[in-house]
Amino acid sequence: MSIEDVLVHIKNLTELAGVSGSEDNVRAYIKEKIRQYVDNITVDSIGNLIAYKKGRSSKLKVMLAAHMDEVGFLVSGYTDAGYIKFKKVGGIDDRILPGKRVLLGDKKIPGVIGSKAIHMQNDDEFESNVKLEKMYIDIGCDKKDEAEALAPLGEYIVFNTQYSELEGDSIKAKALDDRAGCAVIMELLKNTYDFDLYGCFTVQEEVGLRGAEVAAYAVNPDIAVIIESTTCSDVSDVEEYDYSTIYGEGAAISLMDKTTLYDRNLVDFIYNIAIKNNIKVQLKKTVSGGNDAGPIQRTREGVKVATISIPCRYIHSPVSLINKNDLFSCLNIMKLFLKQIKDCPGLK
């Protein structure tokens, strides 16, 4: 198992544009890199990439899922002065946006999110947060038709962030939610298992968990494990009892969230594998949010699901952080789980 390959994939994947509904570049990259390790690859009508890996036995079907899409924006209009108006795709905090650099479309046209200068604001404006409708993107045009020609209505927009490694084993990038999960599954597909494995790289998770529902219906798995990035709130001014996860303390296993009550046999089995093998692991303490596990769990007659996540600081922003040790914890736990899955209680 190559840790270097995983890091290279994360770098390459996070520097691609793949806003929900426009995952083409991400899908093409993954397809090219995994094709030699799997028996079949399909792309369904909604855009999910489903890789099938035949096992030594076909008595059990296991689905691994990670979403390809990222939060971002799309062009919604123009001003006469050539500024671009835009809407959010997925959950992004308006307060982080002014001054951020972005790239528009496949041409990667650079732009900056702007708003009224602080020197021009009245007292009420100064004391309140700037709302999205008061912002615009400046790409250097001074006429409406120029901006429209470069960035037509509906053009996708992503944050302009380069991958880099910081001190203390930290990785900084955009879209670590969930390109890190995609990289983990890409690595796991290199091995052969005692069951049929389906690596599902889903679309449109950030706008309603849409792709996973379609993929799970097609695969009809016995078990599904979602590989995610999740909130990490061990920062200043947050009480320890309110931490969701702790940075550097290992992959996090969910018990419950707003879309899923996880299969306890599966959760305990995965958690205990980590403990027995001295791999750092933690239980996610909050139950907010949700992920692809929700629609997968409710597919057809129901699916046993678990989610294992990489703690991610500043998630859904231009500069998310993950810790390499948490990434490797996730990868190593999943490697052992897939080898020992036949011993998991409650399986058919």
Task: Give residue-wise pLDDT tens across range 268-290.
Answer: 999 999 999 999 999 999 888 89
**Left, alpha or beta for 144 (phi > 0: left; psi -120 to 50: alpha)?**
alpha
Asked if residue 225 lies in contact with residue 306, where contact means CB atoms within 8 angstroms, the answer is: yes
Q: How far apart are the first and last CA of the chain?
A: 30
Q: pTM for the complete prediction? A: 0.94
Chain-centroid distance of CA 105 in Å reads: 20
pLDDT, one tens digit per residue, over 16-72 is 999 999 999 999 999 999 999 999 999 999 999 999 999 999 999 999 999 999 999
Catalytic pick from 205, 213, 228, 249? 205
Smallest CA-to-CA distance from 44 within 200, 182, 177 is with 200
* Nearest C-alpha neighbor of 308 from the set 331, 325, 278, 288: 331
pLDDT tens-digit map of 335-346? 999 999 999 988
Query: What number of other Cβ atoms are within 10 A of residue 271's Cβ?
Result: 19
Q: Is 205 assigned a catalytic role?
A: yes
Average pLDDT over residues 176-193: 97
Query: How far, rounded to the nearest angstrom, does the alpha carbon of residue 113 sit from its chain's CA centroid?
Result: 23
How many residues comprise the chain?
348
C-alpha distances in Å from residue 157, one per residue of 65, 86, 104, 106:
25, 9, 5, 9
Cα–Cα distance for residue pair 329/327, rounded to 1 Å: 5
Helix locations, 127-252, DSSP H: 144-150, 176-188, 210-219
